[in-house]
Homo-oligomer: A and B are copies of this chain.
Amino acid sequence: MGSFQVRTDLALEARESIGEAESELRGVKVDEYYREEEDVRVTKVTIDTKNAAKAMGKPMGIYVTMEAPAMVEPDEDYHREISKCLAEELLKLLPGEDSEQNIMVVGLGNREVTADALGPQTVDNLFITRHIVKEYGKAAYNCNKMNLLSALEPGVMARTGMETAEIVKGVVRETAPDILIVVDALAARSTKRLNRTIQITNTGIQPGSGVGNHRNALTKESLGIPVIAIGIPTVVDSATIVMDAMEKLLEEEQGLDAVKLLSRHASPFPELNNMYMTGKDIDAVIKRISYTISEGINIAMEMRME
């Protein structure tokens, strides 16, 4: 393989690009099931070995992908269904189901750039409870078991002068949550996955992915607590999409091999660095899907109350 790397934040796509047969060989496990009622395909990709991690370009861990084609539609009832699916899948990955926990949600990204505002808009609609329970006890919610939910929007480095990871680390140390849930906009390889795929992973966030690169590692290793990342691809990397379009066209037309052609270039599209591609109705989409995620987290918290 040459120096041109297809860029995707989705383990599902990473696996597709290295081929099914090869991925199984190398220790990538895949389980799929279909939720008929909600028309959601759930794929669980488990990367068990260092070799598999290297081949996939993703750290070891579990990646659950929910593909929900109708998620781009403005159907409120359907979004409620997706939120419930998300709550269930999220709970499977959240450790310590039986005990009360202090959970912090971090909304990554830049509120001022529409396609990157998924994280910030998600934290806007969370049902925050930590300060109430701290002050009035669980009695305030009439329950015996209650998680404490807090939320942080760290902002972006160009405006803070600090790495996102510095801000998150500091607040985690001071307020000592048991678990971190990180929400972020992702980049997909294929336009057909845009805004209709949710990925949940227990690997946290690695440097260099995401729309704006506004972060470095947010992982169990760096923070000392489990980090669950929830993401939806809202953009396609510009170089990737050019590459895909060329591949399709050249093969159709002339049987040329675009990958081979491109792999001879270290950086075939320098003018596309720092550019991204997104849909024209991205504002309405982000408003809807951020609400779907925040409701998913709210429902998951409610399911753990007693």
Contact = CB atoms under 8 A, between A and B. Distances in A.
Interface of A: 110, 112-114, 123-124, 128-132, 148-153, 155, 157-163, 166-167, 169-175, 191-192, 211-213, 236, 238, 241-242, 245-246, 249, 253-254, 261-262, 264-265, 268-269, 271-272, 274-284
Given A212-B280, A238-B241, A169 B161 contact: no
Nearest to A155: B153
Given A161-B131, A276-B277, A280-B212, A253 B242 contact: no
A46 to B, nearest CB: 30
Contacts of A246: 242, 245-246, 249
A304 to B, nearest CB: 16
Contact of A170 (B129, B170, B276, B281): B170
Given A158-B284, A275-B280, 20 more contacts: A110-B283, A114-B114, A123-B159, A124-B159, A131-B162, A132-B161, A151-B159, A158-B281, A162-B171, A173-B173, A211-B280, A241-B242, A241-B272, A242-B246, A245-B269, A246-B246, A272-B277, A274-B279, A274-B281, A278-B278
A275 B278 contact: yes
Given A162-B150, A276-B280, A279-B275, A112 B113 contact: no
A191 B239 CA distance: 13
Contact of A151 (B161, B170, B261): B161
Contacts of A249: 246, 261-262, 265, 268
Q: How many copies of this chain? A: 4
A259 B269 CA distance: 18
B113 A280 contact: yes
Q: Which 4 residue pairs across A and B have the least CB separation, nearest first?
A: A170-B174, A130-B161, A150-B161, A170-B170
A283 B253 CA distance: 39
Contact of A280 (B152, B155, B170, B274): B274
